[in-house]
């Protein structure tokens, strides 16, 4: 009986400690994205970097119930980078490097159930943005009409 009480008390203490920490866990970069290079990986838009670096890496958590708390990316040239920008929500993490680079690995502390994140796209100073413009031309044609006189007595149905 004494052992059961100790076990119950110990279990309650552990449960209380785990509950107060939130639902944080580690998440890792999708294996297929390890070794990706910038430039080279599909590109997209990035916010202006807070550190002045021009080579952006956009990481995204796939679920809607998980958010980035912190991130650690290991690059071939830049080494370890832990600074991130979260735009437009905290399920996005933008990391910037000073030069073109190759990602060796990435892990994050996340709040929520997801344990994997992806490299959505990269952005770099050499990337060009194309804007499509649609030109709409309206053609107005004037038609001269000749009055048509119909004799209803001669109509055949």
pLDDT tens per residue across span 103-139: 999 999 999 999 999 999 999 987 653 333 333 334 4
What percent of the chain is predicted at pLDDT more than 70?
Answer: 66
Q: Is residue 148 part of a domain?
A: no
Q: Is residue 150 part of a domain?
A: no
Please check whether residue 108 is in contact with residue 26, taking contact to mean a CB–CB distance below 8 angstroms. yes
Its pTM surpasses 0.75: no
Choice among 40-44, 51-55, 90-94, 130-134 with the minimum mean pLDDT: 130-134
Tokens for 67? Answer: 């958010």
Q: Is residue 3 part of a domain?
A: no
Closest by Cα among 24, 33, 20 to 60: 33
Q: Is residue 41 part of a domain?
A: yes
Range of the domain at 95: 22-127
At 47 the pLDDT is 96
Burial of 111 (0-12, 13-18, 19+ CB in 10 A): middle
Q: Is residue 133 part of a domain?
A: no
Q: Is residue 57 part of a domain?
A: yes
Q: What are the DSSP calls for 13-53, one per residue?
A: HHHHHHHHT-SEEEEEE-GGGTT-EETTS-B---PPPTT--
Overall number of domains in the chain: 1
Q: Is residue 4 part of a domain?
A: no
């Amino acid at each position: 009986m004494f052992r059961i009480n100790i076990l119950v008390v110990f279990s309650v203490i552990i449960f209380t400690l785990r509950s107060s920490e939130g639902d944080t866990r580690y998440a890792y970069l999708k294996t297929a994205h390890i070794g990706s290079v910038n430039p080279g990986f599909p590109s997209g838009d990035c916010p202006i970097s807070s550190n002045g670096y021009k080579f952006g890496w956009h990481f995204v958590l796939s679920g809607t119930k998980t958010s980035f708390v912190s991130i650690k990316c290991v690059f071939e040239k830049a080494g370890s980078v832990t600074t991130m920008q979260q735009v437009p929500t905290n399920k996005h993490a933008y990391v910037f490097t000073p030069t073109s680079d190759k990602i060796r690995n990435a892990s994050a502390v996340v709040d929520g159930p997801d344990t994997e994140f992806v490299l959505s796209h990269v952005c770099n100073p050499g990337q060009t943005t194309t804007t499509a413009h649609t030109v709409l031309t309206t053609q107005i044609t004037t038609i001269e009409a000749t009055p048509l006189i119909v004799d209803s007595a001669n109509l055949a149905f």
